[in-house]
Amino acid sequence: MDKIRIRGGQSLSGTIPIAGAKNAALPLMAACLLSDEELALSNIPHVADIASLAALLAQHGVRVSLNGDDPNQGCQGRVMGLRAETITNTEAPYELVRKMRASILVLGPLLARVGKARVSLPGGCAIGTRPVDLHLKALEQLGATIEIDEGYINAFAPEDGLKGAHITFPFVSVGATENLLMAACLAQGETVLSNVAREPEITDLAECLIAMGAQISGLGTDRLTIQGCEKLHGAHHKVLPDRIETGTYMIAAAITDGHIELTNTRYDLVEALCDKLIEAGVPVSETETGVLVERHHGKLTGIDVMTEPYPGFPTDLQAQFMTLMTKAQGAAMITESIFENRFMHVPELARMGARINVHGSSAMVRGTKTLKGAPVMATDLRASVSLILAGLASSGETIVNRVYHLDRGYERLEEKLAACGAEIERLKE
Ligand code: EPZ
């Protein structure tokens, strides 16, 4: 298993181009199942989760092509073609789904397109049990019959297809919103989804579905109305920038007293983080093509943060922000309200000298002047990158083990940081 070695202490400065959002690209890829024509997606990030879903779609009969890779532009020019002309297999097997939970996003499209699906339950992961009960209950409201058998979801649509319905989610779920939005596009009649997630990735998916011929209104609000139609046609869609990658590198600039411009992204996608960084004393500004963070030895003040559904502070930036707070003056209370076990980075940060006490869903961070490099263990995608950030801001050497977690969601991470002056390298095992 690869490791990453960091020698900390440099102030980072330079420019980092942001890739397309992994958490937008995954549902967008699943949307290809809704049509027999080609869906072309550009700005697809080069990360492991994308390859995992491409493999799953291929075994459903989707023809996946990648072209336009331009070595000079990174993957900027890359276009992924996905064509589900015929769906030859409606089963999503455990060995593929367990590797990538977002595989559950094929359930709604398969049910809507061919009327049946046998999808492995994703199982839990490091950050929580992550059930899919909201997905299943809502699909039943569209008329589906769903049974759980030997760890698989067996789902069937009525003979004459799914029927539109008024569905109110008991609480906000990004994945359930995406599954139901896709299924409703081919259901008969009108579907109203209330209390939906408002993440930008949902809006991006809706815009792509509209380009494919779907009739959707209420984008960006907590209620989406979909008029079902017979079929969807092909389209070309550009994946929106990755707001979590953007926020991660913004924090890299802040924690190393650096100066980094993030390009190919948008300030509005990271507004909640910008507000918190400015409150903590870190200068952040909007630029033509993204965001600029330039901290010059200014005071870094400990502040409280609670994760919430969008437009609140994103749970996917909680670990990274906590790492920043370990270097702040004073105390910071970090509260995780979305997942039940998303503090796996805390014991690893403690090995580097961070002072953090966890009480239930809250962690009290007491800032310290110095962190010391140490060998640490990555446990999940965002916890892993928080350890990289800690290593950048530590004296001495940090070795992050099990970096396959990182490779699921960060494209060319060490290259992007090294280009800004970080002493970071991958140790191939
Ligand atoms: C998406 O996961 C993201 N993944 C996550 O990013 C992100 O943290 C999460 O949304 C919240 O923003 C992708 O988009 C691929 P949820 P998802 O359904 O859809 C509970 C990353 O690091 N819940 O909004 O699975 C659930 O357990 C990943 O990139 C149910 O109880 O998240 C959680 O506590 C991590 N029943 C809460 O709701 C359900 O049926 C929010 O989950 C569904 C969810």
In a mutational test of the pocket of ligand 1, which residue from 169, 174, 320 has the highest number of ligand atoms less than 8 Å from its CB?
Answer: 174
Q: What is the pLDDT of residues 360-397, one digit of tens each?
A: 999 999 998 899 999 999 999 999 999 999 999 999 99
For residue 279, count other CB atoms closer than 10 A to its CB. 12
pLDDT at position 76 over 60: no
Q: What is the pLDDT of residues 185-215, one digit of tens each?
A: 999 999 999 999 999 999 999 999 999 999 9
Compute the distance from residue 327 Cα to the ligand 1 centre, in Å.
Answer: 29
Cβ–ligand 1 distance for 131 under 6 Å, the answer yes
Under DSSP, is residue 407 helix (H, G, I), strand (E, B) or coil?
A: helix
Residue 129's pLDDT is 82
Residue 72's pLDDT is 56
At residue 127 the predicted structure's pLDDT band, cuts being 50, 70 and 90, is: confident
Q: How would DSSP label each residue in 73-130?
A: TBTTT-EEEEE-SS----EE-HHHHTT-GGGGGGHHHHHHHHSEEEEE----BTTB--
**For ligand 1, what atom is nearest to the CA of residue 175?**
19
Cβ–ligand 1 distance for 23 under 6 Å, the answer yes
Cβ–ligand 1 distance for 169 under 6 Å, the answer no
Give yes or no for a contact between 273 and 315, defined as CB atoms under 8 angstroms apart: no
For residue 335, count other CB atoms closer than 10 A to its CB. 16
**For ligand 1, what atom is nearest to the CA of residue 127?**
35
Residue 265's pLDDT is 98
Q: How would DSSP label each residue in 173-240?
A: -HHHHHHHHHHHHTSBSEEEEES----HHHHHHHHHHHHTT-EEE-TTSSEEEEE--S-B--EEEEPP
Cβ–ligand 1 distance for 130 under 6 Å, the answer yes
In a mutational test of the pocket of ligand 1, which residue from 141, 316, 335, 411 has the highest number of ligand atoms less than 8 Å from its CB?
Answer: 316
- Residue owning the nearest CA to atom 38 of ligand 1: 173
Q: What is the pLDDT of residues 294-326, one digit of tens each?
A: 987 789 999 999 999 999 999 999 999 999 999
| Residues annotated as catalytic (active site), given as ranges | 125
What phi-psi label fits residue 279: left (phi over 0), alpha (psi between -120 and 50 degrees) or beta? alpha
**For ligand 1, what atom is nearest to the CA of residue 49?**
15
- Read off the pTM: 0.97
- Residue owning the nearest CA to atom 20 of ligand 1: 130
Q: What is the pLDDT of residues 266-287, one digit of tens each?
A: 999 999 999 999 999 999 999 9
Residue 1's pLDDT is 86
Q: What is the pLDDT of residues 3-43, one digit of tens each?
A: 999 999 999 999 999 999 999 999 999 999 999 999 999 99
First to last CA, the chain: 5
Listed residue (74, 16, 69, 18) closest to 239, CA to CA: 18
In a mutational test of the pocket of ligand 1, which residue from 97, 337, 338 has the highest number of ligand atoms less than 8 Å from its CB?
Answer: 338
Compute the distance from residue 180 Cα to the ligand 1 centre, in Å.
Answer: 14
Cβ–ligand 1 distance for 173 under 6 Å, the answer yes
pLDDT at position 71 over 90: no
Give yes or no for a contact between 41 and 68, defined as CB atoms under 8 angstroms apart: no
Cα–Cα distance, 130 to 132 (Å, whole number): 7
- Residue owning the nearest CA to atom 25 of ligand 1: 175
